[in-house]
Amino acid sequence: FYKEELDGETTTHVAMMATRKGISRFEVFKELADTSAELYERILRILEDSPRPGSGSMAGMACRDDVGTLGFSRAREAFKQFAAGYILFHLLSERYWLMEVGL
């Protein structure tokens, strides 16, 4: 978003959504950030609350021994680690110029 704004690009997702909604590009960017945060939390809830193999509606189904009841907890932790690494990569990468905007 930042580099595209500096270049004056008008065909980015943010620019097109701003035009369609009649709001500023910054407002669209904020909406996208808020939506991303909400979806992150939703994914964590889904991974935490999903039925685990060997219980509930999945009882009686054959499952591998290495999956066990912690399968979704492991998936949740793996997702959290992936997201943290993804964010850190973008924060530290000079390509994304985030230091220039105070992030």
Give residue-wise pLDDT tens across range 80-103.
999 999 999 988 887 777 556 554
Tally the domains of the chain: 1
Per-residue pLDDT at 82: 97
- Whether residue 59 lies inside any domain: the answer is no
Per-residue pLDDT at 44: 94
- Whether residue 61 lies inside any domain: the answer is no
- Whether residue 82 lies inside any domain: the answer is yes
- Whether residue 83 lies inside any domain: the answer is yes
- Whether residue 90 lies inside any domain: the answer is yes
Q: Is 36 exposed, middle or buried (0-12, 13-18, 19+ CB in 10 A)?
A: exposed
- Whether residue 58 lies inside any domain: the answer is no
Global pTM exceeds 0.75: no
| Contact yes or no for 53/69 (Cβ under 8 A) | yes
Per-residue pLDDT at 96: 73
Q: How many CA atoms lie within 13 A of 47 on its CB side?
A: 17
Q: Kindly report, residue by residue over 23-70, the tens digit of the pLDDT.
A: 999 899 999 999 999 999 999 999 887 655 555 545 444 444 444 455
Per-residue pLDDT at 19: 95
- Whether residue 56 lies inside any domain: the answer is no
- Whether residue 55 lies inside any domain: the answer is no
Domain that holds residue 81: 2-49+67-101
